[in-house]
Amino acid sequence: EAGVVQSPRYKIIEKKQPVAFWCNPISGHNTLYWYLQNLGQGPELLIRYENEEAVDDSQLPKDRFSAERLKGVDSTLKIQPAELGDSAVYLCASSRGTGSFNEQFFGPGTRLTVL
Amino acid sequence: AQSVTQLDSQVPVFEEAPVELRCNYSSSVSVYLFWYVQYPNQGLQLLLKYLSGSTLVKGINGFEAEFNKSQTSFHLRKPSVHISDTAEYFCAVTSNRDDKIIFGKGTRLHILP
């Protein structure tokens, strides 16, 4: 089966510009996660979806970040406007079940550089 | 609140030598524990997980980990490493009362020829 697909793989933008990331989870996985991974750190959850509902967005900086998962499949994460500190890898993951004990399958990530 | 500490940011080891990557956790409730591996320019991949039962858990690629409740540890071991094991390894914790998984900062494994 195909893995989690993310695009683009790399993105370079100037500060104050908008940027969007796209994720296609594994077919049949109803739970989708967006993580932020700073250099030398582990992934940190930004938002978790169960189907099309955002069930945990407590760590999403809502002044500049937004996300959507229309129809409970693909998802997009947007930053507007981007700041220098947003430079990081943005990871998307999916799992079949809703419990935190379920294995999460990760995409390769989008490496964002803000100049 | 739960937390996880990976005591070593980098571990160098000679090829075919054994390795142990250390992980300690903090939690007031029963935990589920994971080790994920991240190869260069790839996403994370599950190596193994402890949910319940036997405290010695075997995973993919010859790795195993032992859950030690009294020491709140979940160290990862491999008896003989290969150059292909070069990667970053993340320990993670969650519980049945939490929907969020907490990752450690990672340990970079360097295999020396």
pLDDT at B60 over 70: yes
**Which distant-in-sequence residues (6+ apart) come within 8 Å of A78 by Cβ?**
A18, A19, A20, A21, A65, A66, A67
CA angle (A105 as vertex; B60, B18 as ends), nearest 5? 25
CA angle (A58 as vertex; A19, A22 as ends), nearest 5? 30
Q: How far is A64 from chain B (nearest CA, A)?
A: 23
Partners of residue A78 on adjacent β-strands: A20, A66
Nearest residue in chain A measured CA to CA from B33: A101
How many residues are there in chain B? 113
Report how many Cβ contacts below 8 Å link chain A to chain B: 58
Per-residue pLDDT averaged across B78-87, rounded?
A: 96
Name the DSSP class of B79: S
pLDDT at B106 over 70: yes
More confident residue, A100 or B56: B56
Residues in chain B with CB shorter than 8 Å from the CB of A103 are: 46, 49
Distance CA B107, CA A34 (A): 22
More confident residue, B111 or A102: B111
Q: How far is A26 from chain B (nearest CA, A)?
A: 14
pLDDT of residue A33: 96
Lowest model confidence (mean pLDDT) among A11-15, B38-42, B45-49:
B38-42
Phi, psi of A26 (to 5 degrees): -65, 140
pLDDT in tens, A53-111: 999 999 999 999 999 998 889 999 999 999 999 999 999 999 998 888 889 999 999 99
pLDDT in tens, B8-33: 999 999 999 999 999 999 988 888 99
Nearest residue in chain B measured CA to CA from A55: B99
pLDDT of residue A1: 66
CA atoms within 13 A on the CB side of A34: 31
CB contact under 8 A, A45 and B106: no
3-class secondary structure for B15-39? CCCCEEECCEEECCCCEEEEEEEEC
More confident residue, A101 or B64: B64
Distance CA A110, CA B86 (A): 21
pLDDT of residue A19: 98
Average pLDDT, chain B: 93
Q: How far is B32 from chain A (nearest CA, A)?
A: 7
More confident residue, B52 or A22: A22
Question: Where does the pLDDT of residue A42 fall: very low under 50, low under 70, confident under 90, or very high at 90 and above?
Answer: very high
pLDDT at A15 over 90: yes
Residues in chain A with CB shorter than 8 Å from the CB of B93 are: none
CB A42 within 8 A of CB B92: yes
Mutate: best of A26, A49, A101, partner B, most B CBs <10 A: A101
